[in-house]
Structure 1
Amino acid sequence: MSSTQQRAREAFGNRLREIRLDAGLSGRQLAAATGFHYTKVSRVEHGGQSLSDADIRAWASACKADAQVADLIAQMRAVDTLYRDYRHAARRGLRHLQEPWVALYERTTLFRVHEHWIVPGLIQTEAYSMAVMAHWRNVMSLPEDDTEAANAIRMDRQRILRLGQRRFNFLLAEQVLYSRVPSAPAMLDQLDRLAEVMRLPRVSLGLIPAAAGLDGHSQTSFWIFDESLVQVETLTTGLDITRPEEIELYAAAFERMWGTAVFGRHAKALITRARDELLQQPKTTST
């Protein structure tokens, strides 16, 4: 278990402790009312043990907190499934990091994607994607080079942009246009790809100007899949958020940022400016 997941479990234990204290019960009294061993109550409240759905219902019932059962169960499940350890999973190869998302992408009907430094995988060119794959292979010091296989999965996944009735709302910070991922020629191709994507019928692409205020920025990138899941990625782990009230907060943040973004010809003007600046940079020569 990661230290982050342990902190999440401890936070859940603290919430259960507060429910018990609000009910005026000691740990032994709660144990007697639920049939738990008294040490189990202590372990749970200190983040050392999980609870089943039935256990949560018993805890809430004993504390006359039945109204919180659904949210408690959702929080417990989120704690248990919250974190994906990328480095551990990637030991089997980058391809195994790409495969699990195929089914998720297939069943999602509304994608809301916010990125603040890199182009999202769904709209990357092949060269850009390969550069990203190579970067993460180096960061995680992976012995196996399966970047081509992983990249093929990502490229195939892009077909959903044109299939079915899915909708895609991409919200990118202006910095994305200047983060030099592949070579300059490949970056020019990627900028052109962004302009092409804007013409797809069910795709909306907004750019948040660098000068936007606080409403235009967030501390991290995130993806919202329908109303059921938010994914946040860190350097080492992936965070899967499924609690409805948390999803609502991310959706609200997305809407605030959407209001600061520019679209259509104004977005294309930002892309053109980034493209022109890249063309004006002196070319490096090998010696």
Structure 2
Amino acid sequence: MSASQSSSAQSARQALADRLREVRLDAGLTARALSTAAGWHEAKTSKIERGKQQPSESDLRIWCAVCSSREVLPELIAELRSVDSMWLDWRRAEQTGLRHLNASVRELYDRTRQYRSYCQSMIPGLLQTVDYTTAVLTSLRDRRRVQVDDVAATVAERTDRQRILVEGGHTFAFVLEEAALHYQVGGPEVLTGQLRHLLDVMQLASLSLGVIPTAADRTSRWPVEDFYVFDNAQANVELVSGFLTITQPREIAMYGETFAALSKLAVYGSTARTLIKAALADLST
């Protein structure tokens, strides 16, 4: 993980680094003394304390042992695991299949009152049909060479998650680029069913669906990476190499502002339905 992937992740890493430095200073040790006792080069200690190298759990155990501060070890390990959870490399996250990653966010979706989603080229998961989800996950399984084939179980997990559209008093705001209505995932029949489903769910009182027309003036806001905002507590961003979780308030606010700006470019109601019906018409020609 590089600092460029998120200042949230880097800030969390630096906070851990600062805490480790405090532990060393409280123990009255120089960086050289700690390094000698730990059995590693002084440069490693320097990199860890400057947030340039992330320590392992083994490193934390040694650090606390050398500093006679074993009582803070559980807290430091928890911080380290929190830093790790901010950035999930797809290869690591999907080693045991696709379902567990989807199941792990069930509670997040259940507790979120206001959900905002922007998608550039895909229909978001909460609005997907079974066939569309199956096509998406099958493609991901094959492209990322996921060794465990649990597509059917993952589809069931995602489909069950959609119950929150009509239960629990949640509200949902979706903004799609018009291109998402035309990119075929699974072929024309799958996309036809998906677009018809969009026309149905648009009638739900709990959600708004906006579509940014291809012809919209993008001088002020151009397409960005797909992202999802859960209340004002968390934002998730899907990148080519992994999945980013943002918890820093300043960054969450940036995604909120971006969503608001993109929402102003979108059309809603009957105008959005016209765009969806036009995409359907294109599939029948």
Query: TM-score, length-normalised on structure 2?
Result: 0.77
The 3 A distance-change label for structure 1 pair 143 and 111 is same
> What is the rounded CA distance, in whole Å, between the counterparts of 2:161 and 2:204 in structure 1?
16
Structure 1 residue identity aligned to 2:248: R
Q: Which residue of 2 aligns with 1:226?
A: 231
1:268 equivalent among 240, 248, 273: 273
Spell out, residue by residue over 1:205-227, the C-alpha distance to the aligned partner (whole angstroms, 9 max, x if none): 00011122144433201000000
> What is the rounded CA distance, in whole Å, between the counterparts of 1:276 and 1:260 in structure 2?
24
Q: Which residue of 1 aligns with 2:35?
A: none
Q: Which residue of 2 aligns with 1:247?
A: 252
Number of aligned residues: 246
Measure how far apart 1:85 and its partner are.
Answer: 2.0
The 3 A distance-change label for structure 1 pair 247 and 14 is closer
Q: Which residue of 2 aligns with 1:130?
A: 134
Structure 2 residue identity aligned to 1:121: G
> What is the rounded CA distance, in whole Å, between the counterparts of 2:282 and 2:8 in structure 1?
48
Q: Does 1:142 align with 2:146?
A: yes
Measure how far apart 1:77 and its partner are.
Answer: 8.6
> What is the rounded CA distance, in whole Å, between the counterparts of 2:235 and 2:29 in structure 1?
34
Residues 209 and 262 in structure 1, CA contact (< 8 A), matched pair in contact too? yes
Q: Which residue of 1 aligns with 2:261?
A: 256
2:30 equivalent among 26, 37, 56: 37
Measure how far apart 1:235 and its partner are.
Answer: 2.1
> What is the rounded CA distance, in whole Å, between the counterparts of 2:13 and 2:234 in structure 1?
24
Q: Does 1:237 align with 2:242?
A: yes
Aligned to 1:179, the other structure's residue is in SS state: coil
Spell out, residue by residue over 1:72-107, the C-alpha distance to the aligned partner (whole angstroms, 9 max, x if none): xxx999744310122222121111121101111111
Structure 1 residue identity aligned to 2:139: H
Residues 8 and 79 in structure 1, CA contact (< 8 A), matched pair in contact too? no
The 3 A distance-change label for structure 1 pair 7 and 200 is closer
The 3 A distance-change label for structure 1 pair 186 and 42 is closer
Spell out, residue by residue over 1:160-201, the C-alpha distance to the aligned partner (whole angstroms, 9 max, x if none): 100011000000000100110122112111001111111001
Q: Does 1:217 align with 2:222?
A: yes
Residues 13 and 45 in structure 1, CA contact (< 8 A), matched pair in contact too? no
The 3 A distance-change label for structure 1 pair 35 and 278 is farther
Structure 2 residue identity aligned to 1:207: V
Q: What is the root-mean-square deviation of aligned Cα atoms in Å? A: 3.2
Long gaps (5+) in structure 1: 20-27, 51-74, 281-287
Spell out, residue by residue over 1:134-181, the C-alpha distance to the aligned partner (whole angstroms, 9 max, x if none): 000001112322111110100111011000110000000001001101
> What is the rounded CA distance, in whole Å, between the counterparts of 1:275 and 1:227 in structure 2?
35
Aligned to 1:204, the other structure's residue is in SS state: strand
Q: Matched residues, percent identical?
A: 34
Long gaps (5+) in structure 2: 33-44, 56-78
Q: Which residue of 2 aligns with 1:284?
A: none
Measure how far apart 1:8 and its partner are.
Answer: 6.0
Residues 115 and 222 in structure 1, CA contact (< 8 A), matched pair in contact too? yes
Query: TM-score, length-normalised on structure 1?
Result: 0.76
> What is the rounded CA distance, in whole Å, between the counterparts of 2:175 and 2:5 in structure 1?
32
> What is the rounded CA distance, in whole Å, between the counterparts of 1:247 and 1:174 in structure 2?
25
